[in-house]
Amino acid sequence: MQGEITKYRDDLGFGVITTDDGRRYRFARKQVISASADLVGQEVDFLISGNQPAEIIVLSGSAWTAFGGIPGTA
């Protein structure tokens, strides 16, 4: 499923993802696999597990940032 992070409180470590159909899902920072510095406004792809988002991937940036790799390492 895809959506956009519309709210995020860094001090609490929680935010909200809004999907194209208007559904909202609350998430914790630890659920974001490829966290960037500023999450609000980021497009994300995620799975739904028990009506909660899981395995959230930020779609902006390079493949290295999306999948947690470091360029030049094997």
Kindly list the structural domains of the chain, giving each domain's residue range(s) and its CATH number in brackets, ordered by start. 2-67 (2.40.50.140)
What's the pLDDT at 2? 95
What's the pLDDT at 27? 96
What's the pLDDT at 73? 45
- Render 32-46 in DSSP notation, one character per residue: BTT--S--TT-EEEE
What's the pLDDT at 48? 93
What's the pLDDT at 34? 77
Q: Specify the 3-state DSSP secondary structure of 31.
A: helix
What's the pLDDT at 26? 97
- pTM for the whole thing? 0.77
Alpha carbon dihedral 48, 15, 32, 30, in 10-degree steps, equals -100
Q: Divide the 74 residues of the chain into consecutive groups of 10 and give the mean pLDDT of each group.
A: 95 95 95 83 93 90 52 46
